[in-house]
Amino acid sequence: MTDVAKRKDVAPAPLEWEYAPAPEARDIVRFEERYGLFVAGEHVDPKSGQWFATTSPASEEQLAEVALAGAEDVDLAVGAAREAYENGWSGLRPSERAKYLFRIARILQERSRELAVAESLDGGKPIKESRDVDLPLAAAHFFYYAGWADKLEYAFPNRRPRPLGVAGQIIPWNFPLLMLAWKIAPALAAGNTVVLKPAETTPLTALLFTDVCRQAELPPGVVNIITGDGSTGAHLVKHPDVNKIAFTGSTEVGKAIQRELAGTGTHLTLELGGKAANIVFDDCALDQAIEGIVNGIYFNQGHVCCAGSRLLVQESIYEPLVSKLKRRLTTLRVGDPLDKNTDVGAINSKAQLERIREFVASGTEEGAEIYQPPCRLPEKGYWFVPTVFTNVAQSSRIAQEEIFGPVLSVLTFRTPEEAVEKANNTAYGLSAGVWTEKGSRILWMTERLRAGVVWANTFNRFDPTSPFGGYKESGFGREGGRHGLEAYLTFD
Ligand code: NDP
């Protein structure tokens, strides 16, 4: 028996399992030693003369060197996008645009194993997630928007849609290729050209995507990829010839971008942080809810803007639920992202690991009770044990701020009214979850929850047809569905 199994508050695990290693072969992906910027269909050295290393967060090994785009490089990329927009793409027959998007979707499917391995190596997420979630969804977004490209007048009846022009797109490190797809697919379908900046710690799948564009024979300059750091993103935001900025990332940077663009006429959509309430009523299917809770917060190491990081449990089932949850945590496997049995991979960067540690220390200092299952972590790399805090005050930092790590805060409620009040007691409004067997209660809750997405008896489900976005400090604008197209169009 393990130490955990002996504890009174945790029911014993049914059996001890030892999993044999099941590594995904990494030789399917071969990185270049160095990647330049992708501008006008060519890989070019940066005018800035600067490069930086991208590393694997699981092993700390360097995977490649990547260009750091400065102001002049951003200017060249925007110029290439403008030229492609004026001299071809915006005037192309919509069914031709659709053809390119379909090709990209199919190539993503064909190369999905290679791209999934690259994603897990560069970002640290478990291969079963990049293989089964990120890649299929990225391809699905291109398929979905390919279908709309020649049907825009049906998507927006009685209105005459026109593209905006050049879109500057800035994406984070938690779903690198998927966020790329969320941004590029609707922009191109609507007839825009793009300059995309991936996050500093996860540039490699965006760079491999340049080869997908080449294979699809996408005209040069329609997609430009510029790697760099926050300063590169800031240059892109400030560029006077960009018609639209689409940003996904932290609320702090989102606010700075909004300030920068105020009064300029540049279109803007912001998809920012979250502190979602996952609300569990006493009539729910408890075992199913436990899986939903685990998926809600430990999926992708909790690096998920819509993660169910605040668990609201009805008091009458608090004890059995917490006991089952703790037991379930003892079965999560933390480790090598390329192992097919891994549930929780590496934390994306050292900086993010330090941020999580600091939050967890503040939770303990503020009087919450911490539970972490016994867990052997690899010696190298950045790791954090899946963590649950109980006895959490609503006002504490771990209940209010986005941790963006595998850390769950548990609070309780007695009535549906109290659940709504507590769930909405946040600066954010991106997502929420409701677990109950009563359909009427789901509808009652959904009407009252201030969240862009409300999942019922499930969590973290995504579909390209469904709009996604937030209220309050979670940003504005929607991605996905027809709403996602509208964000890249203007109307006569
Ligand atoms: P950022 O918001 O800094 O990063 C998001 C993207 O914006 C990256 O591509 C980043 O570039 C770029 N960027 C950074 N500064 C600027 C700027 N001034 N102008 C334009 N673009 C900029 O998030 P962090 O990576 O710093 O993460 C910090 C915290 O933010 C996390 O702990 C988490 O709480 C939250 N976060 C939330 C996300 C979400 O989807 N809700 C996603 C990512 C983070 P670069 O990577 O090169 O710095």
Q: What is the pLDDT of residues 361-396, one digit of tens each?
A: 999 999 999 999 999 899 999 999 999 999 999 999
pLDDT digits (tens, 9 = 90+) for 413-450: 999 999 999 999 999 999 999 999 999 999 999 999 99
- Assign 19 a pLDDT band (cuts: 50, 70, 90): confident
Check whether residue 171 and residue 191 sit in a common domain.
yes
Active-site residue, from 305, 306, 402, 473: 305
Q: What is the distance between the alpha carbons of residues 405 and 358, in angstroms, rounded to a whole number?
A: 11
**Is position 4 within any domain?**
no
CA distances from 92 to 85, 216, 428 (A): 10, 16, 40
For the CA of 257, the nearest atom of ligand 1? 19
Query: Nearest-5° angle of CA 182, CA 28, CA 304?
Result: 35
Q: Is the CB of 170 under 6 A from ligand 1?
A: yes
468 φ/ψ angles, rounded to the nearest 5 degrees: -135, 135
Q: Is the CB of 230 under 6 A from ligand 1?
A: yes
Longest dimension (CA), the chain: 71
Say yes or no to pLDDT of 7 above 60: no
Check whether residue 484 and residue 386 sit in a common domain.
no
Q: Is the CB of 172 under 6 A from ligand 1?
A: yes
Active-site residue, from 24, 119, 200, 271: 271
Say yes or no to pLDDT of 12 above 60: no
Check whether residue 261 and residue 325 sit in a common domain.
no
- Do residues 147 and 105 touch, judged by C-beta distance below 8 A? no
For the CA of 403, the nearest atom of ligand 1? 34
Check whether residue 150 and residue 183 sit in a common domain.
yes
Protein residue closest via CA to atom 9 of ligand 1: 199
- Do residues 124 and 55 touch, judged by C-beta distance below 8 A? no
For the CA of 253, the nearest atom of ligand 1? 2
Q: What is the distance between the alpha carbons of residues 291 and 305, in angstroms, rounded to a whole number?
A: 19
Give the pLDDT score at 492.
84
**Is position 16 within any domain?**
no
Give the pLDDT score at 130.
98
Strands in 134-239 per DSSP E: 161-163, 166-170, 193-197, 223-225
Scored b (16 or more CB within 10 A) or e, 449-462 reads bbbbbbbbeebbeb
What CATH number is associated with residue 187?
Answer: 3.40.605.10
- Do residues 396 and 75 touch, judged by C-beta distance below 8 A? no
Q: What is the distance between the alpha carbons of residues 67 and 46, in angstroms, rounded to a whole number?
A: 6
Give the pLDDT score at 10.
61
- Return the percent helix, strand and coil in the chain, to nearest 5: 40, 20, 40
pLDDT digits (tens, 9 = 90+) for 201-252: 999 999 999 999 999 999 999 999 999 999 999 999 999 999 999 999 999 9
Number of domains into which the chain is organized = 2
**Which pTM was predicted?**
0.95
**Is position 467 within any domain?**
no
Check whether residue 247 and residue 301 sit in a common domain.
no
Give the pLDDT score at 34.
97
Residue by residue, DSSP assigns 249-302 as S-HHHHHHHHHHHTTT--EEEEE-----EEEE-TTS-HHHHHHHHHHHHHGGGG
Q: Is the CB of 304 under 6 A from ligand 1?
A: no
**Is position 18 within any domain?**
no
Check whether residue 148 and residue 45 sit in a common domain.
yes
Check whether residue 134 and residue 250 sit in a common domain.
yes
**Is position 200 within any domain?**
yes
Q: Is the CB of 272 under 6 A from ligand 1?
A: yes
Q: What is the distance between the alpha carbons of residues 477 and 486, in angstroms, rounded to a whole number?
A: 9
Mutational test site, ligand 1, from 250, 350, 430, 431, max ligand atoms within 8 Å of CB: 250
Give the pLDDT score at 234.
98
460: alpha, beta or left? (left if phi > 0; alpha if psi -120 to 50): left
Q: Is the CB of 210 under 6 A from ligand 1?
A: no
Protein residue closest via CA to atom 32 of ligand 1: 404
421 is catalytic: no
Q: What is the mean pLDDT of residues 336-351?
A: 98
Say yes or no to pLDDT of 2 above 50: no
Give the torsion sign (CA, 328, 331, 334, 338). Answer: negative
Check whether residue 268 and residue 282 sit in a common domain.
no
pLDDT digits (tens, 9 = 90+) for 463-477: 999 999 999 999 999
- Return the residue matching tokens 């909004």: 258
The mean predicted confidence, pLDDT, of the chain is 96
Q: How many angstroms separate the alpha carbon of residue 240 from the centre of ligand 1?
A: 22
- Assign 4 a pLDDT band (cuts: 50, 70, 90): very low
Check whether residue 310 and residue 249 sit in a common domain.
no
What CATH number is associated with residue 397?
Answer: 3.40.309.10
Q: Is the CB of 174 under 6 A from ligand 1?
A: yes
pLDDT digits (tens, 9 = 90+) for 65-87: 999 999 999 999 999 999 999 99
**Is position 148 within any domain?**
yes
Q: Is the CB of 199 under 6 A from ligand 1?
A: yes
Check whether residue 240 and residue 296 sit in a common domain.
no
**Is position 26 within any domain?**
no
Q: Which helix (H) or strand (E) holds 314?
A: strand 310-314
Check whether residue 103 and residue 53 sit in a common domain.
yes
For the CA of 260, the nearest atom of ligand 1? 19
Q: What is the distance between the alpha carbons of residues 167 and 145, in angstroms, rounded to a whole number?
A: 16
Q: What is the distance between the alpha carbons of residues 149 and 479, in angstroms, rounded to a whole number?
A: 16
- Do residues 77 and 226 touch, judged by C-beta distance below 8 A? yes
Identify the domain containing residue 324 by its residue range.
277-456
Q: How many angstroms separate the alpha carbon of residue 102 from the centre of ligand 1?
A: 30
Protein residue closest via CA to atom 28 of ligand 1: 250
Strand 387-390 to 369-371 pairing: antiparallel
Say yes or no to pLDDT of 14 above 60: no
Check whether residue 91 and residue 222 sit in a common domain.
yes
271 is catalytic: yes
**Is position 412 within any domain?**
yes
